[in-house]
Each structure stands twice: as structure tokens, then as C-alpha cells.
Chain A
Amino acid sequence: MHLDHAHDTPTALSADAHRPDGTRRALRIGLGGPVGSGKTATVAALCRALRDELALAVVTNDIYTREDAEFLLREAVLPPERITAVETGACPHTAIRDDISANLEAVEDLEDAVGPLDLVLVESGGDNLTATFSKGLVDAQIFVIDVAGGDDIPRKGGPGVTTADLLVVNKTDLAPYVGSDLARMAADAKAQRAELPVVFQSLRSEAGVADVAAWVRAQLAAWTA
């Protein structure tokens, strides 16, 4: 016995593309990857690249409370009301994969507070190579690794490297110093990911986050089409 039609169109339970008022919700893109690979720096660069053309906000998932959120606040990449931290109880992968309830609430609260939004970036806490985002939380995910973490990571694979919608190999400027073979990383990634795209980037170069930003724009175009 239902008193209303809420169940026929599940109201903002998880992956539903519409908000309770019927408007299309923001595209949600997750960024995951090992500790220190440059997730937060990539998020900061994306915010700077996209904030003038898109309404966007960020949810961070920290191991310790709020440190990534505070980095973004210090860098002033977005107004503070557009950045929210989710506390993860020492299990950042749980909060993005197994129990996404706190992240969904954070996304919805952002849309309520500063919406309507075009894009919400959900950054995972630095975790291991197996951490991926639930499809109930994000529409697409970026996995960020770096050349200093070892050039055998693409070969080793794992769910993040293999299945992420975009693989970013970060800090290419460091490759000569840490003895990483970029060509080999590209070949291994190709072997693991078939047609899924890979971006090699150095945020210190002039191009910076441009390739990733272009990919995000393409995702958004497909989402709103």
C-alpha cells in the first residue's frame, strides 16, 4: 500500500539521473588512485580549468578527516560552500564502493545548497589499486596513478587500472628521475584496457590538466545530450 508515487520513481536513492523535483542532477565523476599519485592536485587543476564554464562542486573522502578538503580550501580552487568532506572511518574504499550513503548525502546536500550543478567531482581517499567507485555513486571514474609509483603498475592491472573510464598517468615530468619507462607504461595500459582511454600528464607542464578536462567535457556533453 503506497500513499504516493515515490517508489515508482525512486526519489534520489542513488544512481537515478533525476532529482526529486524532476530536474536532471549533476554528472558525478569519481577520482581514485593510490596515495600520493596526485588525485587532489588533479581535482584542484580541474576546478581551475572548468570553474568559469561549469557549475561544479567537490566531495572529498579523507582517511583522516578533511585534510584533502582543507588543501582545496587553502588553494581556493572553489568557494568553500562548494567543497564537502566525507568522513570514512579509516575505510575510504568502503565509502565509495560498499556503503555509498554518506557520499550520496554529501552530493545531494551540495546540489541543494549551491545547485543546480553541472558537475560534482568525488575524490576518494588515497587507497590501494583495488579501490573503485560504485556505479550507484558516480557516472564515470578516473583512476590516477603516477610514474614514481613504479612503471609496472599498468602491467599489474587491478580493477582501477583495468576498468576506470579514464586512466591518468601523472607526474610524467618525473619519469627520467625515477627511471620509469613511459612507452612501456603506455603499452601495458593498452594491453590491460583495450579501447579505454589513457592520459599521460604533468601538472607542471603548460598543457597541465587540459586532456583530462577535455575528457570531462566530453562526458558532460554525453550526459546532458
Chain B
Amino acid sequence: MNVRTGAGVRSLARIVARDDGRGGTSLPVLESDGPLALRRTRATGSEARVMLVGAMSGPLGGDHFTVEGRVEEGARLSVGSAAATIALPGQAKGEARYDVRLDVADHGELHWLPEQLISAQGSDLYVTTRVELAPTARFVLREEQVLGRVGEEPGRLTSRLTVRVAGQAVLDQELACGPGAPGGWDGPAVLAGHRAVGQLVVVRPEFAAEPVAATVLGEGASVVPLAGPAALVTAVAPDALRLRRLLEEAFASLPRA
């Protein structure tokens, strides 16, 4: 699956989580190649844990990475990453792509909590995250973008996030920033000089009857009920550390699962 072509590297990682029938979750599929590497880590209770290991740096220009995660009925999976992913300029021309496809069946639960994505100067990355959830699936996703390493201008980063519950989109958003992005991305309507931006999506069936109350945490973060059984935290901050604190504070403000 790791095919090196003139246009860059294509790489695919796949995870399937299955209820093992003994109160735990097994991982019948855990495949990865080249730059993407998956490691199973110690499970907690019924939840399997997987770490996405950055065997190489993140996608370079022309690279196309794909990660597919599927949680079958009743299984529980938590996926994190060992370190931040850095999008770098590559020798090959053109944008790099990073596609994440997640699918959670009824009574399944997925926590998708990677570390930050850092957009280094000169890089050009298009990230798509598409999530399909069954009506009773439970889901948490964190997405954090850091524009440039310390003291550095960002690269170009475009990220589209789509979350569907029972086939119905509850969230569909695209944020484009960096040089070459449509104008105004760093202006007062969009980021206003903030160098870290993040979202936390939380989907729970019980939110359909009892949506979270809309709240704000200062001027830099909001917690809102989406049009569906889901809540969204949106946050901007000067840096990655303060962004993480805001997201964690917002997550802690949600009703306990």
C-alpha cells in the first residue's frame, strides 16, 4: 500500500474494532504502512486503545495519507497519536492530502483524539475528516491546528470536517488558512491573529432529548448544541498549549457521559 511515485507517497492505515463478546474490544484489522504506523496500547476496561505513531513526519507536498477507522456494533475504541503531526513542504509539487474516514455502528463508541496538526511554513495540506455514525453511536473527536512552528509563518492548510448521524449531516465545516487561502482568514471575522484553532465534537444519543446549553468561555471558545444529537466546542488561542486548555475546560463543562 505504500507506493512511492513521482507525485509523492500514498499511505493507508486501517483499524477495525469489534466487540469480542467477553466484555472487551478486539482489533481484527490493524494495518498500516510507511509513514503511518499503528500500535495497540494497553486497553482500559472494555475499550481498546490504539496509538498513531509518526514513523515519519506528516504528509509532504504530493503525499496522500488515508486513515480508516471502523467501530463495529458495541465495540469501544480510543485512538490517539504519539506526537503532533507536522505538515512540511515536499520536493514533489502540489498539495498533500490527509483523509480520515471514521465509521461507528450502533452502540459503538469512538474517541478520536490525535495530537495537534502543525502547518509548517511552505507546506500545503488539505485535510478531510468524514465521520458516519449510527443513531446510537457515541463519539468524541478533537481537531487542533497550529499555524506555523514557533516564530514561523504558517503553510497553507485547509480542513473539512463532516459528521453525519444516521445519514444526516450534523456538522459540515471547512476552514482554510495560510498563504494562498482566500482573503481575510487572519482577519477579525476568522482568526484575528490567533495561531491555534481547534474543535471538539461530542456525539451522544441523549443529546437529542437534552441538548447541551450554549455557553462561551471568555472570548475564545464556545460550546454549542448542533442541529442533531451533538455538541461542538470551537476555540481559538494564541498557541497550542492554551488551545488545549480551552478545549479541556470546555469538555469538562459538558454533562458527564
Contact, chains A and B (beta carbon distance below 8 A): no
The interface of chain A, by Cβ under 8 A from chain B, is none
